[in-house]
Structure 1
């Protein structure tokens, strides 16, 4: 089975240690992360590598990240941009958003928070995946509807918590792709649920399997990918590296 192409990210920051840390972390989450130390020839890099999202530092040697963002917007570039700013500097954040950035994140930050911001911006920009964008989705006896936030089995509503529904939606939107627990945590964030962790994802997966699988111990739909996390199998068939 041909593997889906990785989503490309471009990270522009003058701190080499931070660049390498983010590249290592984001690559482990399934991204293809490209790095640059400054905004020189930024337009050329974007044209050449065609990233899906740009992470851009506000303060760069020989240039201003916000100004670079503004130039991109002025020339009609709609590439999603997350601006890294100085923590608690309200002016920096205002300037960043006014320059056309889609989101901002104050330094220092946890890479997991950046991942969550990246996932959120990509969701807003790209919209639903092919599996869920055209309305309700059927699989087996189930009907999933993201608009009404309902899951039905043979016409009867299945009760799910907000976090469990978000997790199932994340799996459906990325059907066929192995997703790490950390990435699922970012995709399925439930603001009303408070802090969540890898164990919470495992418990939610177990509950979903009890709902949608004929045999939760031998799952047809939500499969474990050893060493990575989980995947939703559109056809309910195992893939290389997948197991129950």
Structure 2
């Protein structure tokens, strides 16, 4: 698999490149926002390792533009910016993971593999169950498709995994921490769960009655509308 490393620090860039090549990845590297976007457009990689502070701009903006172009290429931020607000912003913009410097090379490789597994394996839950249905909402895990009331709904990979998790656990309240572990695979700021729940609601609610409900102070549940 091809990994694009976007990092202007030559020391860190060399370490990441050597580690990834050692583990069997094909590696390309660039040092600027402009070159990163050009490379993703020219030959989309399997994953992008993206610094935030770059010479010609902001890695957050690179991720935003990748997602705005309709690309679901996984993005892992690798940055010295370690505040909770930065982490939430990166994940809310469509990042799949957020790693702060200094970092362990072994941990970086492990998290790259985890993100790639999630990106290439749509199934969530029981392996022999490929279509989930709740009311007029249908999620096809095998085809990576979602429809509500017969209308196709375009979801990012993270939105898809979150919705699948909620549908697998229909009528059950899942805490924000549980959703972080089940969907993102790690603990972190729970604000990112709130952000992605709002994304799902914006896409699903215009097509019918609300299906995702907030259990105040606990988390979220997905259940069919009550019939009067």
| TM-score (norm: length of structure 2) | 0.52
The answer for the alignment partner of 2:95 in structure 1 is 101
**Shift >6 Å, 4+ stretches:** 132-135
1:9 to 3, 7, 10: 3
- Tell me the residue number matched to 1:151: none
Q: Give the CA RMSD over aligned residues.
A: 2.3
Shift of 1:20: 1.0
Q: How does 1:22-61 map to 2 (within 5 A)?
A: 22-61=16-55
* Superposition pairs of residues 14-163 of structure 1, within 5 angstroms: 14-86=8-80, 88-127=82-121
* Alpha-carbon shift at residue 87 of structure 1 (Å): 5.5
Task: Find the residue that maps to 2:19 and give its secondary structure.
Answer: helix
Q: Offset at 1:90?
A: 1.3
Counterpart of 1:83 in 2: which secondary structure? Answer: strand
Bigger Rg over Cα: 1
Deviation sequence 1:105-155 (CA, Å, 0-9, x none): 0111011111111011101110179xx9999xxxxxxxxxxxxxxxxxxxx
In 2, the alpha carbon distance for the partners of 1:78 and 1:133 equals 25
CA, structure 1 residues 112+87, in 2 after alignment: closer, same or farther (shift >3 Å)?
farther
- Can you list the C-alpha shifts for 1:10-64, whole angstroms capped at 9, x where unaligned? 0001101111111111101000011111111323211323210000001111110
Cα separation, 1, equivalents of 2:86 and 2:79: 6
User: Deviation of residue 88 (structure 1)?
Assistant: 3.6
Q: Tell me, yes or no, if the aligned pair for 2:44 and 2:73 is still in contact at 8 Å.
A: no
Contact 1:85–1:92 (Cα < 8 Å) also in 2 = no
Query: Structure 1 pair 133/9, CA: closer, same or farther in 2 (3 Å)?
Result: farther
Task: Name the CA distance, whole Å, in 2 between partners of 1:133 and 1:127.
Answer: 13
Q: Distance in 1 between matches of 2:17 and 2:82?
A: 25
In the comparison of the two structures, how many residue pairs are matched? 128
**Secondary structure of the corresponding residue to residue 32 of structure 2:** coil
CA gap of 1:73–1:134, structure 2 versus 1, over 3 A, is same
**Cα distance in 2 for residues equivalent to 1:27 and 1:134:** 36
